[in-house]
Amino acid sequence: EALAEVGGQGIVVPAAWGMFTYRLPPMVSPRSQAGDFKAVSESLIYLDKIAGETGTKVYLEPLNRYQDHMINLLSDAQKYIDENELENVEIIADFYHMNIEEDSIPTALEEHKDSIGHIHVADNHRYQPGSGSLDFKTSFDQLKKNGYNGFLTFECRVRSENPEQAYKDALAHLKSCLI
């Protein structure tokens, strides 16, 4: 409701950043998978209703397995949307997390094109695009093919003595991938 009051269009929600990962001890979840699904679903159903009333969106962000255990793939997020019949929840496709979790970023972008409402860009190591090894061109070609015209946000750290120039270089790199 406050988001709508200030003219915001959507809110980013990861399932539970840093709550638990199977990759670190104790390696046993505090809840069952069914319990996780129920807890996240209840929150999303509530948020979906409010978003519908306020004309906003909820952007559900899958995180990588080292940060969370519940929603790691775009297909995991899609399951929540489909099974709960959520009308105001869309997926964030975060290139950094997808680089770790998805078998193919372009394939995931194509398979979930109708539910993606927000993009986060960072290179494979979470620094600015163009400073690592991700193939942004192939993924951007897929987004163009999908007709994606939603948000695209830098969500990265900057590795540079000159951060302003690093951002300019990253933007130039991404623009070159659109050709």
Residue 101 a catalytic site member: no
Q: Could you tell me if 129 and 174 are in contact, meaning their C-beta atoms sit under 8 angstroms apart?
A: yes
Residue 155 a catalytic site member: yes
Q: Could you tell me if 107 and 149 are in contact, meaning their C-beta atoms sit under 8 angstroms apart?
A: no
Catalytic residue among 42, 155, 161, 164: 155
Catalytic residue among 1, 5, 42, 61: 61
Task: Report the catalytic residues.
Answer: 61, 155
